[in-house]
Amino acid sequence: MTAEAAPASDDTSPPSPSSSTVPAMPTLSALLPFVPHDPWYRVRVVAMGACTLAYLWWSRVHGLVTDRISAGVAVGVFLLCAFVGKPWRRWGQVAGDAVCYAGMWFAYESTRGAADGIGLPLQLDVVRSADRVLFLGAQPTEWLQQHWYEAGVVRWYDQVLSLVYYSHFVVPVMAVAGVWAVSRTMWVRYMRRFATVVITACVMFVVFPTVPPWMASDERFGYGVGEPLVRHVRRGVLDLGFTGFVHDWGVALDWSNVVAAMPSLHAAFSLFVVVFFLPMVRRGWRVLLFAYPLAMALALVYFAEHWVIDVLVGWALVAASFVIWHRIERAARTRDVAAVLAARGPALADRVIGDEGDDGDDGDDGPIGPFLAPRDPTVVLLDRSLLDALAGTGTDGHDDAADAVYARLLARHVDGTVRLVARADHLAAFDLRARRGVLAPVRPMAVADQYRRQAGRLAHLDRFAPFADRPDDLLTVVVARRARAVAIEAAPA
């Protein structure tokens, strides 16, 4: 009798696929690093670099750009280089921003020029007395010029401090243009604080016109108070060969208002630039950045351009601007999250409160919080699947897991470390109740036609082959890449 072979297994079902036979479907976030930049990216980088070098060369050879019209033209040319190839919607946004930027400087020039034209008395005794109190009876400008200044001799510190003084006309302009080109979110935060400093200073110029030290010591202006002082800011740059600097500054003095001195915007702007970029610098290097505003303060006093109290008020104005806007922006984010919690119920509120503070002290409301809070939060794009789950239109059973993801993001959103975005067409699919409630913190990201064309090209690449039949997912990845998102959050499986 021949024995029959036993079956290898009683289970007749096919073997389950393993990861070695069927590759796992990559997540959308995993695809982000492989999405190429748009074709104009390298063109923009080269153009911006060339524009910056041309600006510095022009300042060195032909003279420093000190008037607002020329500075505005320089910024405008830089923006043309920075946004070439961008979607038309972005160009419209830039045009609107440019109008606000020009309006700020128009208000500044108008009020500064009228600082002594409305009849308010010029202030001298109060600022001079303030310096005397601060330095225990001594006058710092007089002391510095007695010990450091020598007629006909230009020391190394004359050169250094003169360059620091004139950097006021270069550094803030380059900072504005650079921030504008990198991130609109960061630029908006920059301009809120910057415009607050400028507009407040304009008001103070009008209501508190102040006689600067060099004028106070000059009998030709009817004062002759204290020891004679020399306004010698030009010597250092002239000795270094920057004749264009000196010529253009001499022209600028013909239309500037010398009694628009309280507060000192030279001091304010030098500190402003340092404080704004402080969170982007490693901790060990942060202290060194403050050498710039301190050197500016020393230059202003040594050259008899400003009283010390002018400098301190300028610094205080910068600090107040950062504190005020930090609180306003945090309150706005808190209101957005409150709308979410009202729409989702107390369960989500407990998760958000539990997650707050897990990401360090970047969003701390302590005394240094406004100065170390992130200027450009990390961008996270919410996929349509997560939006559906949060708005209650997704698959049953996913809402609880989606809340866990959302709670983590909301806590970081309140701290200002994360900015939540989603495709504008995805958000438009929900009614206003959802967008003003559970999706209130999520900002729309417009979908340009060039994004759709790029997504179509990706479908033909081997790496994106698993998504060839899911063009909407490819478009989401492209939009996230253009938004500089670090992750795409989808509904948990």
R_g (Cα) of the chain, nearest Å? 30
Boundary (domain end) residue, out of 293, 328, 363? 328
Q: Could you tell me if 349 and 306 lie in one domain?
A: no
Domain assignment of residue 452, given as a range? 345-489
| Residue 56: per-residue pLDDT | 78
Q: With cut-offs at 50, 70 and 90, classify the pLDDT of residue 355.
A: low
Per the structure, the count of domains in the chain is 2
| Residue 351: per-residue pLDDT | 64
pLDDT at 459 over 50: yes
| Residue 11: per-residue pLDDT | 42
Q: Could you tell me if 170 and 83 lie in one domain?
A: yes
Q: Could you tell me if 383 and 238 lie in one domain?
A: no
Q: pLDDT digit string (tens) for 256-303?
A: 567 778 899 999 999 999 999 998 888 888 889 999 999 999 999 999
Indicate whether 27 belongs to any domain.
no
Residue 212 preceded by cis peptide, ω within 30: no
What percent of the chain shows pLDDT beyond 90?
23
Collapse the DSSP code of 363 into the 3-class scheme (helix H, G, I; strand E, B; otherwise coil) and give the result: coil
CATH number of the domain enclosing 426: 3.40.50
Q: Could you tell me if 101 and 180 lie in one domain?
A: yes
Return the exposure string of 302-332: e unless at least 16 CB atoms fall within 10 Å of the residue's CB, then b.
bbbbbbbbbbbbbbebbeebbeebbeebbee
Q: Could you tell me if 146 and 89 lie in one domain?
A: yes
pLDDT at 423 over 60: yes
Q: Which residues contact 455 (CB under 8 A, 6 or more apart)?
A: 471, 474, 475, 477, 478
Host H or E run for residue 27: none
Collapse the DSSP code of 439 into the 3-class scheme (helix H, G, I; strand E, B; otherwise coil) and give the result: coil
Indicate whether 26 belongs to any domain.
no
Collapse the DSSP code of 157 into the 3-class scheme (helix H, G, I; strand E, B; otherwise coil) and give the result: helix
Q: Could you tell me if 104 and 237 lie in one domain?
A: yes
Indicate whether 28 belongs to any domain.
no
| Residue 353: per-residue pLDDT | 56
Boundary (domain end) residue, out of 272, 302, 328? 328
Q: Could you tell me if 478 and 385 lie in one domain?
A: yes
Nearest to 441 by CA among 475, 476, 417: 417
Indicate whether 84 belongs to any domain.
yes
Indicate whether 4 belongs to any domain.
no
Indicate whether 150 belongs to any domain.
yes
| Residue 441: per-residue pLDDT | 92
Indicate whether 23 belongs to any domain.
no
> Mean pLDDT across the stretch 390-410?
74
Question: Which residue, chain included where needed, has tokens 């002290």?
Answer: 361
| Residue 354: per-residue pLDDT | 54
Tokens standing for 45?
């980088």
CA–CA distance, 359 with 363 (Å, rounded to integer): 9
pLDDT at 247 over 90: no
| Residue 359: per-residue pLDDT | 44
> Mean pLDDT across the stretch 176-180?
86
> Mean pLDDT across the stretch 304-319?
94
> Mean pLDDT across the stretch 448-457?
89
Q: Could you tell me if 171 and 282 lie in one domain?
A: yes
Cite the DSSP H helix spans in 83-155.
88-113, 125-134, 140-148
Q: Could you tell me if 370 and 408 lie in one domain?
A: yes
| Neighbour order of strands in the sheet with 418-423 | 443-445, 418-423, 378-382, 485-489
Boundary (domain end) residue, out of 268, 300, 328? 328
Comparison of pLDDT for 125 and 26, the residue scoring more = 125
Which of the residue ranges 64-73, 181-190, 242-251 has the most confident prediction, judged by mean pLDDT?
181-190
Q: Could you tell me if 307 and 407 lie in one domain?
A: no
Q: Could you tell me if 474 and 353 lie in one domain?
A: yes
Comparison of pLDDT for 49 and 357, the residue scoring more = 49
Q: Could you tell me if 200 and 269 lie in one domain?
A: yes
> Mean pLDDT across the stretch 18-33?
63
| Residue 435: per-residue pLDDT | 86
Indicate whether 381 belongs to any domain.
yes
CA–CA distance, 249 with 234 (Å, rounded to integer): 8
pLDDT at 157 over 70: yes
| Residue 105: per-residue pLDDT | 75
